[in-house]
Every structure is written in C-alpha cells, then in structure tokens.
Amino acid sequence: MLFSRRQFMCGATATVLSMPALMRGIAAEASGNLTLVTIFLNGGNDGLNTVIPITTTQYGAYSSLRQIPGGGGLLGYTEAQITAAGTAFDPNYLTPAASATTYAFHPNMTQLRAMYGQGKVAVLLGVGLPPVDPNRTDHAIAQFDWATGSVNKYGLANTGWIGQSFDQIGGAGAIPPTVSVNYSSPVILTGVKNSPLALGGDIGGFSVPCGDGGTDCTNRLLDLSTNNDYASNFMSAEFARSLAESTTTYVGVVKGYAANASGSTYPAIGNSSLRSQLKQIARLIQAGAPSRAYFASQGGYDTHSSQQNANSQPGLLADLSLAISDFYGYLAANGLSKNVAIMTYSDFGRRVQANSTAGTDHGTASVHFIVGDPVKPGVYGAYPDLTKLDANGNPLIAVDFRNYISDMVQALGADPTNIVGSTYPKLGYI
C-alpha cells in the first residue's frame, strides 16, 4: 500500500516541522543554477519509432519485425518517407539530415531535428528499467520506479528523485522548489521536506472564489484553515487543513507571477494540453518564480492498437516536438534559456514486433531527450541490437534508467548516492 501524503505530513517522518514551514519550503536559496522541466510521456512511448535506426542491418530488422500482420503495411516509416521528412541525424550533431546515415527522428519531429542541428538536443538511446525488476513491463510499477529512481520499492517509498534532490539542496522560499502544472502532485517531485505546488490550467486562474458572489475570499478561507481544532482529531481533516493553508498562502504569490508575465507572445497552444502546460511553466520562469523543477505530462502513449493512426503516436510526437520547440524558442527570445533543461521519461519502450491490432505491447528500452542550452549535444547510450532480442521479444537495455537520472541529479547540484542507490558513471549529456 502506498504511503499516503497524509501519513507523510502527519509525522511519518522523524522530524516534524510545523505545517506552514513545510508547505512554504525551506527558506534558504537552493544551490546550483539548473531549472529542470520534466515531461512524462504517460503510457510507455515506443522508442523504436521515435528514433528510427537507419543503418542497414538495424533498419532491415526494424522493417521486417514491424510489418503489421494481415498486410497492414509497416508500423513505421520507409526509407523514402524518412528521406522526405529530412529528420535523419548522426552522432555528430552538425551533420545535415541529407548526409546522415545512422538514425532518424520520427518524421513528425521536424522541430526537434532542427534543434538537434543547433546543438540543443542530447539523445539518450537504449535507456530503460533493468531486468532485475520483474514488473518492469507493468505501468504502475514502471511509473513508480521512474519516479523514485528505484526498483522493487513499490508501496514502500513515498518520495521521488527530484524531491529528494531538493531535500539536499534546499528550496525556493516563496513557492515550493518543485511545481507540477497538470493538477497532480506527483511522487517524483515529492521530498521529505517539500511537497510540490500543484497547479493546473492557467496560472492566472489560480484564485479563491467566494460562495456568495464576493470576488476574493482568500482571507475567509485562511480563517477556516488556521487554528481548526477539529482537524487535530482527524488525520484526513488535518491533511485538508494544511493543504488549504498552503493553497491560500500560494494563491497571492502565483497570481503575482501570472500578472508579471502574461505570455501574450507565446505561440498558440491550440487544444494541446502539453503546450498549455509548458506555456504556464514558461510564464512562471519569465516572471522570476524561484522554483527550479517543473513537471508536465502528456498522455496517450499506451499504443496497443492502431499506433500509426494520425492522432495516436504520430500526433503525440508532433505535439511533443512542437511543444518543446515553442517553449525553448520563447525562453531564448526572452534571454531566459541559459539554465533551463527539459528531460523526457516514460514507463517503458514497446515490443519490436507489431501485434495483430496494428499496435505494440509493453516493452523495455526506449529513447529519451534532454533539450536546452545546458546540454552537451549528440547521442548517448547505444541503440539496442534489434537482431538480439530477449526471450520476450524485447531489446536489451544499454543504459540503466538510474544512470540517466544520476547525471541530472548532479546537474541540479545534489549527490545521487542516496537517491538512485549507487554511483553510476557520468553519461555526460549535460
């Protein structure tokens, strides 16, 4: 059973700080400069079609295993399609697409390809959960592993690797060091000393209504949530009370940030949830919010059937590429991109062989991106050999996910030893 937030807040930890202090974060400025934006690709993104191997042997394996049964064609892209898209790339990021012979981004990820050529993208190949975790192909366990940077601790831990990093390096003060912009309060951002601030939707809309037509009832709600003796009798009420207190505390602060950065020149977000989330993050950064870790998520990657439909993986990756490019472009145009990095992660990759419903099932190794000015551009890890799959038809991982996380923990300014469990060699992507 997962520890609930309530247990954590009501004294499951050895040191119990007063609730307002917990919610407001540690007063000291966090050390280090990096602002991390994590994008979770929810459902297990098929890495094979995100970065396609175009060397002869690899592409041969890819195109034969990815034939959709019943003559459905290729669950992937032909060489002609890849050439036409212009998304091919080599480990040397300066090689233009027309001359590249090693890999290709998904044809819809043209903006990411362009950013790669400008030296803003590190591609991490063959990253995934290790075989020592027998449940690495189940969503719940896999997502938990990634969030906590651990294996086989499902139900036994309640803090995530980003939260633990900020436990070490300190928090922001005005608002917590970690902020989620998709309504949820994810474990990955939760530390012992800090809970993330959970925003959703437009940060300007983060306000406190009244029930009788009045416009701003922050004070009334603050009255209700402080000094509430009832709450001391019931843990659930205490949880609600302290959450209410922290929320009313942050409302004014967040509204201030929203007012300072209207984001009116941000590119249109259409009806894309991801683009909306990244826009909110950009506005907070622009307004000078001191938080250093943001979390956004994009759903729909569990493509067991009809994976090549335009609104399935192709549409998601198009959205992802555009969202990242718009976000970076906005920050760069405002001189704010120097210390901001994006990293993606997902539950797992997917099966090499296409299934009978033109989709793919849960797999292992996948591809992820780190994007921004701080990255050291190029290719890291290794593309799994598609002719040497394991007994379940999955590629062998080249990079343990904890190794991926370890580099980023250090980039934030924290020591990874007690977070991902051992010291991994530096990959060097940032």
Partner 1 sequence: MKQRLYFLVALAFISAAAPALANPKTFATTYVASAIPRGHAGADAGVDVAGGRYVRITASGSISMGTFGACGRATNPDGCASAFSPARVAAGAPTGSLIAAFTSASGALITSWATVGTGGYIAIPSGAARLVLRINGTTGHEPGAFRVVADVVTAAAPAASSASGVAQVGGVRRTLASMRSVGPSALSRSDVQYFLRRFGFSDTPANVTAVYKAGISSWLTQQLNPSSIDDSALSQYMEPTPLYGTGPSTMNGYDTFGNILQRQILQREVASKRQLLEKVTLHWLEHFSVSQDKVNDAGAMAHYEATVRSDALGNFAQLVSDIAVEPAMLYWLDNNNNNGANVVTSPPNENFGRELMQLYVLGVSQLNPDGSQVMNTSTGMPNQNYTEADVKQIAQALTGFQVQAPPNPGLVNPLTVDSVRFYNSRHAKGPFTIMGQTIVDTGDPTIVPKVINSLVNNPSTAPFQVKELLERFVTETPSPGYISRITAVWNANVSSPNQIANVMQAIANDQEFYSGKGSMVKEPIEYVVDAIRELNGAYATPFTTTMETPYNSDYGALGNMDQQHWYPPTVFSFYPPGDKESLLTNSLLLSRWSNGSSLSNDVRTTTLCATCDTNVDFTNLTALTGANTAASVTHYLLDALVDGGSPELQALMQNYLANNVKNVNGAVWMVLTSPEYEVN
Q: Could you say whether residue 348 binds partner 1 (CB under 8 A)?
A: no
Q: Could you say whether residue 185 binds partner 1 (CB under 8 A)?
A: yes
End-to-end CA distance of the chain: 36
Closer by beta carbon to partner 1, 1 or else 98 = 1
Minimum separation from the CB atom of position 365 to partner 1 (A)? 15
Closer by beta carbon to partner 1, 82 or else 203 = 203
Contacts of 264 (CB under 8 A, 6+ apart): none
DSSP state for residue 394 in the 8-state scheme: -
Q: Binding to partner 1 (CB under 8 A): which residues in 363-392?
A: 391-392
Closer by beta carbon to partner 1, 245 or else 407 = 245
Minimum separation from the CB atom of position 7 to partner 1 (A)? 8
Contacts of 289 (CB under 8 A, 6+ apart): 172, 174, 175, 179, 257
Q: Could you say whether residue 240 binds partner 1 (CB under 8 A)?
A: yes
Buried/exposed 103-131: b ≥16 CB within 10 Å, e otherwise = bbbbbbbbbbbbbbbeebbbbbbbbbbee
Which of 383, 317, 426 has the alpha carbon at shortest distance from 123? 383
Q: Could you say whether residue 299 binds partner 1 (CB under 8 A)?
A: yes
Phi, psi of 403 (to 5 degrees): -70, -45
**Binders of partner 1: how many residues, by CB under 8 A?**
71
Please compute Rg for the chain using Cα positions.
22
Q: Could you say whether residue 347 binds partner 1 (CB under 8 A)?
A: no
Both tokens of 416, joined, read: 């990874």
Q: Could you say whether residue 239 binds partner 1 (CB under 8 A)?
A: yes
Q: Could you say whether residue 244 binds partner 1 (CB under 8 A)?
A: yes
Q: Do 57 and 63 contact (CB within 8 A), yes or no? A: no
Closer by beta carbon to partner 1, 268 or else 391 = 391
Both tokens of 211, joined, read: 């029930």
Of 198, 293, 324, 352, the residue at the interface with partner 1 (CB under 8 A) is 198
| From 83-91, 201-209, 319-327, 407-415, span contacting partner 1 (CB under 8 A) | 201-209
Minimum separation from the CB atom of position 261 to partner 1 (A)? 18
Q: Binding to partner 1 (CB under 8 A): which residues in 118-157?
A: 134-135, 137-141, 152
